[in-house]
Structure 1
Amino acid sequence: MLSRIAESLFWIGRYVERVDGTARLVDVVRLDQLEGGYGAHGQSVGSVLGVLGGEVGDDFVSYDALRENLVFDAANLSSITGSWNAARDNARRARETVSTDLWEAINTAWLRWGRLGPPDGTARHLAWARERAILVAGIADSTMSHDDAWDFLVLGRYLERADMTARIISTGTLPTGALSWQSVLSSCGGNQAFMRSASGLFTDRAVATFLVLNREFPRSVLHALVQAEDALTRLEPEHLNVGFGNDARRLLGRIRTSLEYRLPENVINELPQQMVRVQQMVSAVADSVAHRYFPSEAEQTWMEEIR
């Protein structure tokens, strides 16, 4: 597979997942404001904007600023509009590799997103973005051969999910945070799954443990890291007797084991630091993947012929 095609597939996975995660988090802030919770005072809005890479100028940030920056700003690749644009551009570059159904799903999402009505950031925009992102991911899984192309897409998806979930968790701290832990759980779509897992016993620490360490919940940090590591293993099985030749896999294994094999209470007691480490490690893994699989050569320039 050409490296440019593999890179496009990797970023399709990341950008589609980014649409889903961003829409979930912005919708939670919107609901908090409607209910007069933390978001009504602006702290949660500023925290979310900062966590997702936006600029926060002062302590009070309006929901309108959050909406413009993370939903409709086409120049911001962390926004929903920017992510749809980037996902469509990458799908166009990999048109000969992605399935026809997947291309049509991404292209349709890109076309319809701009035609949903005034950019007011209502529930209709955010719910549509979430549903469309899930649809695109499902179409990719059910219409693409599960070969190297699919593995690059899945690798991008789960690296982005691990990073996004860590960022979402960062908006809540124990015992209090910018968003309530109920809101953090809702933003990950984990209400029903948590209630089944915890038998209805809701505590902040239980929610934090569930979102970080649960092996079965598909949006937990640990589950996403495991899936990303599995994709890397399929792409390049190790044949070394000692260590790993793939730096990305080594980095992923290090952060996964640091969560999986520590006592849960130790992980939760150091939750902010652990989530920062996850974000930093995901960034390092992405750089390592790019260096190994998507090498970029220096641009060649013509020089005057020497006589």
Structure 2
Amino acid sequence: MMLARNAESLYWIGRYVERADDMARILDVAIHQILEDSTVDVDRSARRVIQVLGLKAPDAGVPADVFMLTERVAYDQDSFGSIVDLIHAARENARGAREVTSSEMWECLNTTYNGLADAEKRARKLGPHEFLSYVKNRAAMFAGLADATLSHDDGYRYLLLGRSIERVDMTIRMLLSRAGERVTSPQWVSVLVSAGAHDTYLRTYRGVIDAEKVLEFMLLDRLFPRSVFHALCVAEHNLSELEKGPSRVGAQAQALLLLGRARSSLEFLDSGVLLDGLEERLLDLQDTCRAVNEAVTNQYFHVSPYVAWADARVSDGEVLAIEESEL
């Protein structure tokens, strides 16, 4: 039987590393678009990225540009929810749960955190891509080490559960950033690039870029690991493995029930109607992620989470805030 504090640490390590990875991906694509397209409204685009990532936007009178965007999302150590802050949080959770993580996992997180300063220095000389590539590569290394060096027992399942729930949330954020775009807009490609899905998508659909196909791939694809459906299935499988005993009627756990409903809502959805009510469907899935997080916390960790991801709709409906609550 795993201690609740260790289970919680592994769950949040999975979420923090996944979120840092996805934020680096989204920011990298956004910066390239802003710098390469002279028609882009830089202030509006920067604020949109910050909102989509659930971070606090600068005041209306403060100009938003690439430098401010990168500082706020990536480098700022004092900013709650920045990439540096997330990696620090993952490292601290690993420090407190050394008995249930492998030495290689700890060394990866510790080395990653200690290398952030040097990566930032290189990025300030050569461009943000240096820092963001460092984060993406280290996140991939951590995922590989966790898979290869951690026993695939309950601890591993908590790690995958956290990673999968966060992946659902971040994929939805990527899609929400393009909700309302015209069907033929080239901006849909940015969703695929942000998710590392561009090459796989082109091979699957033979090069056809279409909003319906992009949504079908990112929401419903059974084989692509960053699709919403696949991540929900991974979360549901690992949560069901954590259940200790059969249930005579329905799902034992509230979290398992919520995941099953979300997975079923996508599994039997006609791909031809994905654009209809897209934003509402995505926001409902985000609400499910928040509810699953609360249910997992209440059932397995027995304490209020010291960090709660919460979604707050702003006036234009675009999304999403992170709130920190104290114990």
Q: Return the TM-score normalized by structure 2.
A: 0.86
User: Are positions 1:201 and 2:212 aligned together?
Assistant: no
Which 4+ residue blocks in structure 1 deviate beyond 3 angstroms?
Answer: 37-41, 57-60, 174-179
| C-alpha distance in 2 between matches for 1:254 and 1:37 | 44
Q: Calculate the aligned-residue CA RMSD, in Å.
A: 2.0
| C-alpha distance in 1 between matches for 2:274 and 2:239 | 25
| C-alpha distance in 2 between matches for 1:186 and 1:39 | 18
Corresponding residue for 1:95?
A: 98
Corresponding residue for 1:18?
A: 19
User: Are positions 1:68 and 2:74 aligned together?
Assistant: no
Alpha-carbon spacing, 1:98–1:236, altered in 2? closer, same or farther (3 Å): same
- The match for 2:191 among 184, 192, 201 is 184
Q: Which runs of 5+ in 1 are unaligned?
A: 298-307
| C-alpha distance in 2 between matches for 1:217 and 1:171 | 20
User: Are positions 1:239 and 2:242 aligned together?
Assistant: no
User: Are positions 1:79 and 2:82 aligned together?
Assistant: yes
| C-alpha distance in 1 between matches for 2:246 and 2:80 | 38
Q: Greater Rg, structure 1 or structure 2?
A: 1
Stretch moving more, 21-30 or 274-283:
274-283
Deviation for aligned residue 1:241: 2.0
Deviation for aligned residue 1:76: 3.5
CA contact (8 A) 1:20 1:130 kept: yes
User: Are positions 1:292 and 2:295 aligned together?
Assistant: no
Alpha-carbon spacing, 1:205–1:44, altered in 2? closer, same or farther (3 Å): farther
Per-residue CA distance 1:101-159 (angstroms, 9 max, x = gap): 11111111011112224363611000110011011011001100000000000000010
Corresponding residue for 2:228?
A: 221
Corresponding residue for 1:51?
A: 52
User: Are positions 1:35 and 2:36 aligned together?
Assistant: yes
Alpha-carbon spacing, 1:125–1:199, altered in 2? closer, same or farther (3 Å): same
Of all paired residues, the percent bearing the same amino acid is: 38
| C-alpha distance in 2 between matches for 1:75 and 1:199 | 45
- The match for 2:271 among 264, 272, 288 is 264
Deviation for aligned residue 1:190: 0.6
| C-alpha distance in 1 between matches for 2:295 and 2:156 | 19
| C-alpha distance in 2 between matches for 1:76 and 1:214 | 35
| C-alpha distance in 1 between matches for 2:257 and 2:186 | 34
Amino acid at match of 2:268: Y
Corresponding residue for 1:175?
A: 181
| C-alpha distance in 2 between matches for 1:232 and 1:211 | 22
Amino acid at match of 1:131: N
CA contact (8 A) 2:75 2:120 kept: no
Alpha-carbon spacing, 1:110–1:179, altered in 2? closer, same or farther (3 Å): farther
CA contact (8 A) 1:77 1:86 kept: no
Alpha-carbon spacing, 1:77–1:228, altered in 2? closer, same or farther (3 Å): farther
| C-alpha distance in 1 between matches for 2:300 and 2:28 | 36
Deviation for aligned residue 1:38: 6.4
Corresponding residue for 1:125?
A: 131
| C-alpha distance in 2 between matches for 1:61 and 1:107 | 32
